[in-house]
Amino acid sequence: MRIIVYGLGAIGGCVAGLLARSGTEVIGIARGAMLDAVRADGLWLKGHDLDEAVPLTVVGHPTEIVFRNGDMILMCMKAQHMAGALEDLRAAGAADQPLFCLQNGVVNEDMALRLFPKVHGVMVWMPATYIDPGRVLCFAAPKFGVFETGLFPGGLDADDERFVDAFDPAGMAGFTHPKVMASKYGKLLMNLENILNAAMGPEAEKGPLPDLMRKEALAVLDAAGIAWEDRAQLVPERRGLAQISDLPGEARSGSSSAQSLLRGAGSIETDYLNGEITRLGRLHGVPTPVNAAMQRVGARMVRGGLRPGDLTLADLMAEVGNTV
């Protein structure tokens, strides 16, 4: 079995490196400085009891791969880059290979299903960091992460079992989940706070904003009839598998949104996290002023080249204004 990891950021980099060092044939698709660094020196992977350069086959575009029957493709880019990545895969000859969406948010699977017949959702719990090209950090122990996989929109097939069979020997805990999108909606509720971390920094006081955003989101999901699972209520045998742990000499850089700003990536995923709540609210007549305000904050930070900690709680509350 060969696994294509499309997008070597924090999650994609950790997953590709762990799979490769466990003996799975892996091809990574990367770009820019990450591509250059991995080609030159391999992928440096650091986690509990792990600090090494992993040799990794890497290409800059899907057209450099001759796709085979039996390949598995893991989509690890941010949602704002998903449409272009799918088009590039189709143009490169990918067709019936199963696609696994290891991304925050809940829009990627639907986007993929327009172009590819075998789409799987994956709920990812992996506290990982990517700031420096060629180097990824995983702050979890004893497992490097927990991954729940299932068919989109529901069910399971043999490819989900193949996914788990590949991940478990690599130090990641894999599980099948026939209602994986309920799990991903639960994760979405957690990810609504990513913009707060990105705006104010990881240690800042968040005030009433988390509760306000979550209240809007719960009302929206209820109005839309969307089932979700509380990630805080993970079954006990999974809850302790990948606990956040320190790495000597390393600091966590905050949420994936914060990391995008720190790298100067030029985009942020807020429109596909808080923006999904806003979209559903507009469809179902539920006001979502706080989540909409956080979308504006994210867009303004990208336009202005701002970094985590450049805004305060007072700034964010002023953006919310008198809407709550």
CA distance 141 to 149: 20
- Specify whether the CB–CB gap between 193 and 211 falls below 8 A: no
Domain boundaries, the chain: 2-179, 185-320
The predicted pLDDT at position 141 comes to 94
Neighbours of 23 (CB within 10 A): 10
Task: Report H helices in 72-139.
Answer: 82-92, 108-113
Q: Which residues on adjacent β-strands are paired with residue 6?
A: 29, 75
Digitized pLDDT (tens) for each residue of the chain, 324 residues in all: 999 999 999 999 999 999 999 999 999 999 999 999 999 999 999 999 999 999 999 999 999 999 999 999 999 999 999 999 999 999 999 999 999 999 999 999 999 999 999 999 999 999 999 999 999 999 999 999 999 999 999 999 999 999 999 999 999 999 999 999 999 999 999 999 999 999 999 889 999 999 999 999 999 999 999 999 987 666 556 768 988 888 988 988 888 999 999 999 899 999 999 999 999 999 999 999 999 999 999 999 999 999 999 999 999 999 999 665
pLDDT of residue 253: 83
Would strands 72-75 and 57-59 be described as parallel, antiparallel, or unpaired? unpaired
- CATH code at 2-179: 3.40.50.720
pLDDT score recorded for residue 24: 98
CATH code of the domain made up of 185-320: 1.10.1040.10
Provide the H-helix boundaries in 168-272: 180-191, 194-200, 209-224, 236-239, 256-263
Give 14-58 as a DSSP string: HHHHHHHHTT-EEEEE--HHHHHHHHHH-EEEEETTEEEEEP-EE
